[in-house]
Amino acid sequence: MSKLMPVLSAHWDEKDSFTFAGYKRNGGYKALEKALAMEPDAVIQSVKDSGLRGRGGAGFPTGMKWSFIPQGDNKEHYFVVNADESEPGTCKDTPLLMANPHVLIEGIIIGSYAIRANYAFIYIRGEVAHVIRRMQQAIEDAYKAGLLGKNILGTGFDLELVLHVGAGAYICGEETALLDSLEGFRGQPRLRPPFPAIAGLYARPTIVNNVETVASVPSIIEHGPEWFAAIGTEKSKGYTLYSLSGHVNNAGQFEAPLGITLREILELAGGIRDGHKLKFWTPGGSSTPLFTDAHLDTPLDYEGVSNAGSMLGTKALQIFDETTCIVRAVLRWTEFYKHESCGKCTPCREGTWWLVQILKDLEHGKGTPEDLDKLLDLCDNIMGRSFCALADGAASPIISSIQYFKDEYLQHLTTGGCPFDDEASTKFVTSNVGGVK
């Protein structure tokens, strides 16, 4: 039996998969009809029963989140989709929305109905013009089909859906920064509490869910929570999109039940690129502590990855072979966090500024072995001290890389520079070089 399980991606190979007609042809919007015939609370219960957890990184149980929205409070509720996919390595929501935007819309309508929201937003990052085109068109088509707007399918339920296009800020993937950005402010995280479920957009009860999470809801309604709960592992239910990239023979999207291992995915993908071997990888984007070949059999579910010392995150499996310099890789990620730090809090703003300088020196063979202790101590002063999790993410690759590759850092100091040949790690390398100069 196949280890894979295409659900969201099942029809991406059809030419018109992104159109309303294409979606309908494959059974789209049937779950919506079913959901609208249910009591909103029953929809929430179904999502609870399915065991669906957030696919954006934190893995919070979706149904429970929905149930936090106070009901009967005479306030507007908002349903917001986080489509600001920006975590390095993460590339699942973007192809999903390019090929199948309607599944998200269907999920949004169901979710909004469940939490009694009459206004929903998709906050999509601004650097993906063609995805924005298709999402925008899908919304227009859904309006035309009477699936959005007033009195949806004659049920009396109203929903406005607005596509809100970001403008280049990783931090807006943090849900409260996203809300500030959506309100027209600089995208800096807010104090919590209050949590968005109590005071989110415009200080009203608000759900913020990842694209993939919301897109999974129609399948749960259509097939039933039991169906979904039967997939995956004990506490990590359902299927999900794994994104494999880097030094592999075949990179791409793999939709599979939670709990699959990297070894299994690599087998499907034809393995590490020929002649090379796995050195390190991220299980869920650059903010999740690095893994090595020792973790090939770690079940890629929330608990499995966590127990092995990292996080499932966005299931962004970035694979690096032995030609890759760990210092260069970590420096580049650190530069990313420095570039994307919103500037609000001290440890993130100043800490990333400092870390980059130390790592740059190390890459060039400057510094002392004690600098590694300093790096770790600075990370200790950043982790859990900053306003939001961005800076924790910045510390993760540094801490885990020193844990696994301390000798390679030190090697830079003894050789007085980087011992690696950058060209050897490129995709278009011509000579079959071994990697080390």
Partner 1 sequence: MSTQEVSSDVTLELITLTIDGFEITVPKGTLVIRAAEKLGIQIPRFCDHPLLDPVGACRQCLVDIEINGRKFPKPQASCTIPVETGMVVNTQLTSSVADKAQKGIMEFLLVNHPLDCPVCDKGGECPLQNQAMSNGNGESRFDGYKRTFEKPINISAQVLLDRERCILCARCTRFSEEIAGDPFITLNERGALQQVGIYEEKPFDSYFSGNTVQICPVGALTGASYRFRARPFDLVSTPSACEHCASGCDMRTDVRRGKTLRRLAGDDAQVNEEWNCDKGRWAFKYATASDRIKTPMVRGSDGQLHEASWPEALATAAAGLSVSRAAVLVGGRATVEDAYGYSKFARVVLNTNDIDFRARVHTDEERDFLGSAIVGVQVNYSAIDRADHLVLIGFEPEDESPIVFLRAFKQVRKRRLKVTTIAPFTSRGSNKLNAEVVKSVAGNEAQLIAKISGLTSKSVILVGERLCESSGALSATLALSQSSGAKLAWIPRRAGERGALEVGAIGTLLPGGRPVNNASARVDMQSAWGVKSLPENIGRTTSEIIEGLHNGDIDSLLVGGVDPLDISSDAIAGLEKAFVVSLEMRHSAITEIANVVLPIAAVVEKSGSFLDWEGRARAFESAVDVPDLRSDVRILSIIADQMGKPINLPTVAAAAKEFLALGNWDGARAPFTPTSATLISGDTILASWRLLLDAGSLQDGETNLANTAHPSVAVISTDRAEKLGIKTGDSVRVFNERGAITLPCEIKDIENNSVWIPRNSHTSKTIATLGVASGASVSVVKA
Partner 2 sequence: MPFTNEDATVIESIISRYPRKRSAIMPLLHFAQARDGYVTNESIETIAQKLDLETAEVNAVASFYTQYKRQPVGEYHVGVCINTLCAVMGGDAIYEGLKEHLGIENNCATKDGKVSLERIECNAACDYAPVVMANWEFYDNQTVQSAKDLVDSMRNGNPLAPTRGPNKLPTWRENSAVLAGISDGRFSEGVSAGEPSLLGLKLSKEGK
Tell me how far, at minimum, the Cβ of 219 lies from partner 1, in Å.
35
Strand runs (DSSP E) across 179-238, as ranges?
206-210
Nearest to 92, CA basis, from 76, 80, 103: 103
User: How many Å apart are CA 37 and CA 52, to the nearest integer?
Assistant: 21
Binding flag, residue 176, partner 2 (CB under 8 A): no
Q: How far is CA 197 from CA 71, 82, 89, in A?
A: 11, 15, 29
The number of residues that bind partner 1 (CB under 8 A) is: 32
Query: Closer CB to partner 2, residue 12 or residue 195?
Result: 12
What is the distance, to the nearest Å, from the Cα of residue 420 to the centroid of all Cα atoms in its chain?
31
Counting contacts by CB under 8 A, is residue 345 touching partner 1? Answer: yes
In the numeric block, the tokens 């929570």 are attached to 225
DSSP one-letter string for 357-407: HHHHHHHTT-S-THHHHHHHHHHHHHTTTSSSTHHHHHHHHHHHHHHHHHH
The token duo for 331 is 């420096």
Residue 166 site contact among partner 2, partner 1, none (CB < 5 to 8 Å, cut-off depends on kind):
partner 2
Give the residue, chosen from 226, 353, 414, 415, that forms a contact with partner 1 under the rule CB under 8 A.
353
Query: Residue 269 binds which one of partner 1, partner 2, none, with CB within 5 to 8 A depending on kind?
Result: partner 2
Residue selected from 28, 63, 187, 196 as contacting partner 2 according to rule CB under 8 A:
187
Q: Using the rule CB under 8 A, is 119 a contact of partner 2?
A: yes
Q: According to CB under 8 A, which one of 72, 129, 156, 191 is a site residue for partner 1?
A: 191
Count of residues interacting with partner 2 (CB under 8 A): 92
Verify binding: residue 406, partner 1, rule CB under 8 A: no
Among 24, 58, 61, 76, binds partner 2 (CB under 8 A): 76
Residue placing its CB nearer to partner 2 in the complex, 55 or 63: 55
Question: From the CB of 341, what's the least distance to partner 1, in Å?
Answer: 4
Stated length of the chain: 437
Listed residue (208, 105, 209) closest to 147, CA to CA: 105
The torsion angle over the Cα atoms of residues 382, 383, 384 and 387, rounded to 10 degrees, is: 50
302-341: contacts with partner 1 (CB under 8 A): 338-341
Enumerate binding residues for partner 1 (CB under 8 A). Answer: 169, 171, 186, 191, 338-347, 349-354, 357-358, 374, 378, 380-387
